[in-house]
Amino acid sequence: MPKGIAPAPAAGSSTAPLVAGPKNYAHTLSLRLTAEQYRRLRRYAARVEDEGQGRVTHQSVIEAALGEYLDRQNG
């Protein structure tokens, strides 16, 4: 089962979207990334973990980004 995320950080916050308990997912989506986007995502996750902010997954980063986008768009 995929791992969930903690609440998304506030704008301008340096808090990373950390892994939380399991969620009851209903749908699976795929996302195509360029090689550069994927490298950036991997570097970000590694940096967050190296800084001792806890474990962060690609799933948690994408979920947090989507949540922030939808909040800004009143979605």
Q: Is residue 67 part of a domain?
A: yes
- Tally of domains in the chain: 1
> What angle separates helix 35-50 from helix 58-72, to the nearest 10 degrees?
100
Q: Which residues of the chain have pLDDT under 70?
A: 1-16, 18-21
Q: Is residue 3 part of a domain?
A: no
Q: Which long-range contacts (CB under 8 A, 24 or more apart) does 20-25 make?
A: 20/60, 25/1
pLDDT in tens, 58-68: 999 999 999 99
Q: Is residue 21 part of a domain?
A: no
- Contact of 21 with 4, CB cutoff 8 Å: yes
Q: Is residue 9 part of a domain?
A: no
Q: Is residue 4 part of a domain?
A: no
pLDDT at 2: 40
Q: Which residues form the domain of 48? A: 32-75
Q: Can you tell me the distance from the alpha carbon of 36 to that of 55, in angstroms, rounded to the nearest whole number?
A: 22
- Contact of 2 with 25, CB cutoff 8 Å: yes
Mean pLDDT of the chain: 81
pLDDT at 44: 95
Q: Is residue 6 part of a domain?
A: no
